[in-house]
A and B are shown apart, each in its own frame.
Chain A
Amino acid sequence: MKRTIPLFISAVTGFVLICTAFIPKFVDWGNDAMAWFNILAAFAFILGGGNLLKMQLQKISAQQAGWGYSAVTLIAFFITLIVGLLKVGVHPNINFPEYAWSGDYLEEGSAFWWLFEYIFYPLSATMFALLAFYISSAAFRAFRAKNTEATILLLIAVIVLLGRTYAGVWLTSWLPNEPILGTSGITYSDFHLSHLSEIIMDDFTTPGMRAITIGIALGVASTSLKVLLGVDRSYLGSDQEA
């Protein structure tokens, strides 16, 4: 009951959806399944919120180290939730002014928009911007041209980085637009870093990306089959659950 039914559900759902791809009449089933899938994903967010609440409340009640931060998390969570769900500060849709709830929940000027604009966005953008420092320092410490492969990686990274910025244009702008002797149509300006970067992106990274994409597709297909055939059951968790 605990394991057999879920295995049966996943196998039937998966194989039915695979079959519908080959029967034009039932192609819409895939779209319906996607719509259901999105609804379930939305409820998964509620589940996530519930879990967050549970964990933080446990921390607060046990007065673990840093429980004050858990309280801050919960306060921020509830304010966002209440403000967003109640559409605080949202005006009705201009075409239907008599329907108070018809406005967009992210309307400019509303309380939820304020939270997004002045707290959520700055915090998430700064968190990711912080990685610029760490990625640079890690690269500075780890990148050494020890062998051919490492040298290629380093060289390409430098060319692409410079080629896509003004520094690259400035560094190689002195190369004239004149043909190189003994070549047909190749000019010195073809070696501008911006041009080299374009050639690398168009011709040399495409094969690598293509091979990786093919590998990923084969990996996804094999993992999907393993899940549908019940070989991979890791998503069911352990048998110890209540």
Chain B
Amino acid sequence: MKQSTLIWTLLMIFGGLGLLSVQIFRTQGAVYVREVPVEAKASQPESPEQVYRWSKYQQVPAKEKGEPGVSFSLSRTIGLWVAAFCTLAIFSFLYGDNPLYKFTESVFVGVSAGYAMVVAFWTEIVTNLFAKLLPGLARISFFPDMEEGTKASLLYLIPLVLSVLLLWRLAPKGSWIARWPLAFFIGATAGIRLISYLEADFVGQIQNTIMPFIVFDSKGAFLWIESLRNSIVIVGVLSCMVYFFFSIEHEGIIKYISRLGVWFLMVTFGASFAYTVMGRIALLSGRLNFLFNDWLGI
């Protein structure tokens, strides 16, 4: 074992033991919940008169421990420890690729795929397809608030057929048939995006750039700050567009204008980079806050 690897390993082992001892002695890492009883009566007149009772649990700060109605939640406490384990396992990649990271990465892939499928099922397939095709059945199963007598929209048989054709791709033979729904998908995207992008992003941005170089207030006084700001935006957009225009050679005056455009683009990229870094650091601080505050209670 290399000396540096040995040092890192020892550091991680001692760090882990330290965290565990902190947990044991400070009795942190536990979640407490308040029981909220729920009582509801049957909604439909034809339903038998009955009162339904169950309890909901709201998470409360650990300092409320011992108050009436507040109890220890085993499932959420296990969840907290699982979340801490997952966080540390992913961070362990900074030390190098290791089995712990690979394990959590595999869990992440599986859970993400399952999560996406479940969300798609409940928000689209059930809500927008099943409820449109079989409104009566949808009403007595998932959506009792649906209006009674809603008629089925048979037009939704088309996306159903296209969807079945899409799943055909998994079949050993005839997978080419999945190109038909894919073609609809691509065609619809192209048609919708072509208009929306030209309208909002092309025409809209040009419209926003057409503004006065020299600005006066209602009394006729010259507003030099506003004039300067407008001029910077107009000159900036034009110079950037000149830089993006490759049909003419960037020589002479064009070269200088496009150079100015590059400078504006560098400003944009610099600011975008700063925002990206800040976003990631905000996420990192969120995770560290979870580890030190929610889990360890330090």
Contacts and interface: CB of A to CB of B under 8 A. Distances in A.
Contacts of B1: none
A127 B284 CA distance: 9
Contact of B90 (A116, A126, A155, A161): A126
Contacts of B129: 39, 42
B47 interface: yes
A101 interface: yes
B16 to A, nearest CB: 17
Interface in B205-247: 205-206, 208-209, 229, 232-233, 235-237, 239-241, 243-244
Given A38-B124, A123-B111, A227 B186 contact: yes
A176 interface: no
User: Range of interface residues on chain B?
Assistant: 35 or more
A211 B240 contact: yes
A235 to B, nearest CB: 5
A66 B274 CA distance: 38
A189 B175 CA distance: 67
Contact of B283 (A51, A101, A128): A128
B120 A41 contact: yes
A211 B202 contact: no
Contacts of A205: 267-268, 271-272
B43 A95 contact: yes
Interface stretch (B4-12, B22-30, B100-108, B248-256): B100-108
A76 B106 contact: yes
Interface in B144-193: 144-145, 155-156, 158-160, 162-163, 166-167, 169-170, 172-176, 179-193
11 contacts: A5-B180, A5-B183, A10-B183, A36-B158, A47-B170, A66-B102, A76-B111, A84-B117, A96-B43, A123-B90, A221-B197
Interface of B: 38, 40-44, 47, 50, 52, 54, 56-58, 75-76, 79-80, 82-84, 86-87, 90-91, 93-94, 102-125, 128-129, 140-145, 155-156, 158-160, 162-163, 166-167, 169-170, 172-176, 179-195, 197-198, 200-202, 205-206, 208-209, 229, 232-233, 235-237, 239-241, 243-244, 261-278, 280-281, 283-284, 286-287, 290
Interface of A: 2-3, 5-18, 21, 30, 32-52, 54, 66, 69-70, 72-81, 84-85, 91-99, 101-102, 105, 108-109, 112, 114-133, 135-136, 139, 148-150, 152-161, 164-165, 200-218, 220-221, 223-225, 227-228, 235-237, 241-242
